[in-house]
């Protein structure tokens, strides 16, 4: 879709956020660094001693393998949650890129043996792992691990894999694929006869392992030294519990309203058990206390009301680029269900900062009784220039307000008509987000630069 000169995503695609200039520069630097790392091993082949030339398709297939493997090794960096790297885009965009670029890398890596076998069928005997040399066995291991990794990532929900089981297997397969791939390449050593070329690949391996060690050892150690204590667990409307946490022996961190953190409740930060939740408290609080409001949905969230006050927990954050900031005549917040959490943080923060910029909240819920933060939103209207429009899927009898879902017609009924001048923020279930994107882009002709979104389904 093209709107006002900008391209809107198709339904379900990740939406880019508008970035301040410094953030854009930082983003460009990271893209250049990423390309450098991917291309460096290929360019290095052009220098130093050259082995005798081989047929075109052999060289072509080897080049695929080199680039694919370098891309795979860098995936550890993409998912390492470096705030400085992810900030220009937001975590959802980074994870989306991780998924897409991994598929490209896998296609390149798998193309390597396929092209080779077509060009030189005599090499098919290397598929027999009993008789094949170790360097070919490593190649087979790397390829099988990659294929398993893709199948499990793409069909995780269809295969009914528990998230935690999938996550652990995903990591193990990624390490196996990259390690075996590099062992294959260094073992074959056709192009890596020069020690410095070998060194380049070993450096890339060390970098990948270093990133893994950072995420799985250094970062958890850091979190372990900065724990939080649960100071309150309170029930909200809509099967939701707010968990308030205070820093235990440190000052805590500051976040911007709309951001989120990874919460570990049961166990230590070394376990793969952190879950992402938006902060629902005001970002203006100076005492380091933070709150998350969690709806009961699955095995972790379903036990959230069991969490005892006083329990030690760990928060890795803040992350995300879903934040207020750009000036606009009107901020339009669109929330569906538990997608209200970043919005309530924005609204509470505006109230604490006495910021009376005009805000309209379009809030979709199932029933009147299930509207999380209903009474508080009503009370906050007195302190803010805030209009709240509830849209109910199953309204009570005689309900005079909006019913059904949030559509272009709802926007038109409640917003001043200069739609392209307002700044939009949307968070909710995927179906709602797809519908909002199409209503704003296709019908209200809002430029993409005015639209910000947070999808809770990015992992």
Ligand X SMILES: Cc1cc2nc3c(=O)[nH]c(=O)nc-3n(C[C@H](O)[C@H](O)[C@H](O)COP(=O)(O)OP(=O)(O)OC[C@H]3O[C@@H](n4cnc5c(N)ncnc54)[C@H](O)[C@@H]3O)c2cc1C
Stretch that binds ligand X, among 52-60, 65-73, 270-278, 440-448 (CB under 6 A): 270-278
The count of residues interacting with ligand X (CB under 6 A) is: 23
Beta carbon of residue 292, minimum distance to ligand X (angstroms, whole number): 6
Least separation in angstroms between residue 168's CB and ligand X is: 11
Report in angstroms how near the CB of residue 167 gets to ligand X at its nearest: 7
- Contact between 187 and ligand X (CB under 6 A)? no
Q: Which of residues 337-356 bind ligand X (CB under 6 A)?
A: 338, 341
Closest CB to ligand X among 51 and 302?
302
Residues 300-339 that bind ligand X (CB under 6 A): 300-302, 338
Is the CB of 67 or the CB of 273 nearer to ligand X? 273
- Residue closer to ligand X (CB basis): 296 or 383: 296
Q: In angstroms, what is the minimal distance from the CB of 358 to ligand X? A: 25
Among 255, 280, 288, CA closest to 348:
280
Interface with ligand X in residues 90-119 (CB under 6 A)? none
Determine, following the binding rule CB under 6 A, whether residue 260 of this chain makes contact with ligand X. Answer: yes
Rounded least distance, CB 135 to ligand X, Å:
37
456 near ligand X, judged by CB under 6 A:
yes
Minimal distance, residue 412 CB to ligand X, in Å: 29
Q: How many residues does the chain have?
A: 459
Supply the minimum distance, in Å, between the C-beta of residue 264 and ligand X: 9
User: Rule CB under 6 A: is residue 245 a binding residue for ligand X?
Assistant: no
Name the residue number minimizing CB distance to ligand X: 298
If the CB atoms of residues 70 and 274 are measured against ligand X, the closer one turns out to be: 274
Kindly state the smallest distance separating residue 414's Cβ from ligand X, in Å: 25
Nearer to ligand X, 3 or 338 (CB): 338
Based on the shown chain and the rule CB under 6 A, indicate whether residue 458 belongs to the binding site for ligand X. yes
9 or 276: whose CB is closer to ligand X? Answer: 276
**Residues in region 272-301 near ligand X by CB under 6 A:** 274-278, 292-295, 297-301
Where do contacts with ligand X occur on this chain (CB under 6 A)? 163, 260, 274-278, 292-295, 297-302, 338, 341, 454, 456, 458-459
């Amino acid at each position: 879709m093209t709107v006002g000169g900008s391209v809107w995503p198709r339904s379900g695609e990740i939406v880019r956020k508008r970035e301040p200039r410094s953030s854009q520069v930082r983003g460009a630097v990271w893209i250049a660094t990423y390309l450098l790392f991917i291309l460096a091993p290929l360019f290095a082949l052009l220098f130093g001693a050259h082995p005798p030339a081989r047929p075109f398709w052999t060289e072509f297939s080897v080049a695929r393998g080199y680039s694919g493997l370098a891309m795979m090794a860098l995936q550890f960096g993409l998912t390492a949650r470096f705030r400085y790297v992810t900030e220009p885009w937001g975590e959802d965009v980074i994870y989306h890129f991780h998924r897409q670029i991994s598929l490209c890398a896998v296609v390149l890596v798998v193309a390597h043996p396929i092209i080779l076998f077509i060009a030189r069928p005599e090499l098919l005997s290397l598929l027999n792992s009993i008789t094949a040399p170790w360097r070919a066995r490593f190649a087979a291991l790397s390829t099988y691990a990659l294929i398993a990794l893709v199948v499990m990532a793409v069909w995780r929900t269809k295969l009914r894999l528990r998230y935690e089981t999938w996550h652990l297997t995903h990591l193990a397969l990624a390490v196996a694929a990259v390690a075996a791939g590099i062992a294959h390449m260094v073992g074959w050593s056709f192009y890596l006869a020069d020690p410095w070329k070998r060194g380049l690949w070993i450096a890339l391996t060390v970098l990948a392992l270093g990133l893994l060690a950072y995420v799985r050892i250094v970062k958890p150690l850091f979190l372990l030294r900065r724990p939080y204590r649960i100071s309150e667990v309170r029930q909200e409307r809509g099967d939701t519990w707010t968990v308030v946490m205070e820093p235990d022996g440190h000052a805590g961190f500051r976040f911007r309203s709309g951001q989120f953190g990874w919460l570990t409740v049961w166990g230590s930060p070394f376990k793969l058990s952190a879950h992402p939740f938006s902060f629902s408290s005001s970002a203006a609080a100076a005492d380091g206390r933070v709150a998350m409001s969690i709806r009961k949905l699955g095995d972790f969230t379903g036990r959230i009301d069991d969490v005892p006050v006083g329990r030690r927990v760990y928060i890795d954050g803040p992350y995300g680029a879903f934040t207020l900031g750009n000036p606009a005549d009107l901020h339009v917040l669109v929330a569906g269900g538990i997608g209200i959490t970043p919005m309530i943080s924005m609204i509470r923060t505006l109230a604490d900062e006495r910021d009376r910029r005009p805000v309209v909240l379009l809030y979709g819920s199932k029933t009147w009784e299930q509207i999380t933060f209903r009474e508080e939103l009503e009370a906050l209207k007195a302190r803010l220039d805030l209009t709240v429009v509830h849209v109910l899927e199953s309204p009570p009898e005689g309900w005079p307000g909006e019913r059904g879902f949030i559509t272009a017609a709802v926007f038109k009924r409640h917003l001043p008509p200069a739609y392209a001048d307002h700044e939009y923020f949307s968070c909710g279930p995927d179906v709602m987000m797809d519908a909002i994107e199409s209503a704003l882009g296709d019908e209200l002709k809002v430029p993409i630069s005015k639209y910000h979104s947070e999808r809770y389904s990015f992992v």
